[in-house]
């Protein structure tokens, strides 16, 4: 069984879902340290001027070592209304916007206390919309204590996987010997992003996969 593992993200990008679709099991890494200014609580959408971040505000002051599944959202700000408004404004002309509008409005109508709940809602929304059937688990369920490469190898073993599918960017820091010692085959994702039609002229790469869905609808799988 081939497993892939990735940290929780808010509206993840295309590589995330391409890896999920290629795996037999996808593990949401939720019990590692939260990294501020990364993509755990933000991602990018396309605008007429290029792109902008949608950033979910979190409570981080004095909480330097909190895990992703411990991070609380700062609900003193009207971020849900702002994010939904930004999506409506920038995707009004996208071909499949109206088809998904009601579901987006429902997603943003919910009360979220934890970032993990929000991120999971957006990941599940896109997973279902893309028709990806790969089962998912949370790393916190597997009770693994190791760190770095050893953690990933141990998560695979705990989940019953004998192969780990990694993003190519991890070649700089993963230790292949750790996986070999654990009896886990290490394979690398081969993903080459291709330009697809967007709601505004030109093409901006590395957007949230929401951009792909609202612009390409049922054809989204051709770009994953």
Reported as a single tens digit per residue, the pLDDT across 30-75 is 999 999 889 999 999 999 999 999 999 999 877 778 999 999 999 9
Give the domain extent around 35. 2-223
User: What was the pLDDT predicted at 149?
Assistant: 94
User: What was the pLDDT predicted at 61?
Assistant: 79
Query: Please, are residues 113 and 70 in contact by the beta-carbon 8 Å criterion?
Result: no
Confidence category of residue 23, pLDDT binned at 50, 70, 90: very high
Number of domains in the chain: 1
Burial (CB count <10 Å: 0-12, 13-18, 19+), residue 147: exposed
Phi then psi for residue 112, to 5 deg, are -115, 130
pTM of this structure: 0.95
- Paired with 96 in beta bridges are none
Question: Mean of the pLDDT values across residues 198-216?
Answer: 97
Query: Please, are residues 207 and 46 in contact by the beta-carbon 8 Å criterion?
Result: yes
E-assigned strands of 2-141?
2-7, 25-29, 42-47, 50-55, 58-59, 72-73, 136-138
Q: Rounded to an integer, what distance in angstroms lies between the CA atom of residue 149 and that of residue 95?
A: 42
Reported as a single tens digit per residue, the pLDDT across 115-155 is 999 999 999 999 999 999 999 999 999 999 888 999 999 99
């Amino acid at each position: 069984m081939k497993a892939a593992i990735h940290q929780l993200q808010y509206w993840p990008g295309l590589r995330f879902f391409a890896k999920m679709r290629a795996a037999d099991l996808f593990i949401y890494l939720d019990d590692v340290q939260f990294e501020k200014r990364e993509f755990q609580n933000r991602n990018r959408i396309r605008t007429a001027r290029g792109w902008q971040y949608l950033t979910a505000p979190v409570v981080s002051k004095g909480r330097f070592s909190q895990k992703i599944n411990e991070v609380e959202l700062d609900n003193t700000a009207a971020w849900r209304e702002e994010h939904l408004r930004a999506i409506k404004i920038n995707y009004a002309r996208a071909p499949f916007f109206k088809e998904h509008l009601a579901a987006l409005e429902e997603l943003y109508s919910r009360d979220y206390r934890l970032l993990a709940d929000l991120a999971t809602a957006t990941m599940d929304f896109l997973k279902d919309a893309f028709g990806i059937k790969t089962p998912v688990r949370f790393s916190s369920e597997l009770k693994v204590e190791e760190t770095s490469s050893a953690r990933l190898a141990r998560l695979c073993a705990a989940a019953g996987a004998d192969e780990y599918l990694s993003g190519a960017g991890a070649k700089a820091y993963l230790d292949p010997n750790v996986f070999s010692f654990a009896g886990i085959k290490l394979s690398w994702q081969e993903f080459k992003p291709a330009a697809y039609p967007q709601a505004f002229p030109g093409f901006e790469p590395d957007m949230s996969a929401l951009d792909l869905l609202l612009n390409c609808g049922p054809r989204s799988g051709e770009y994953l």
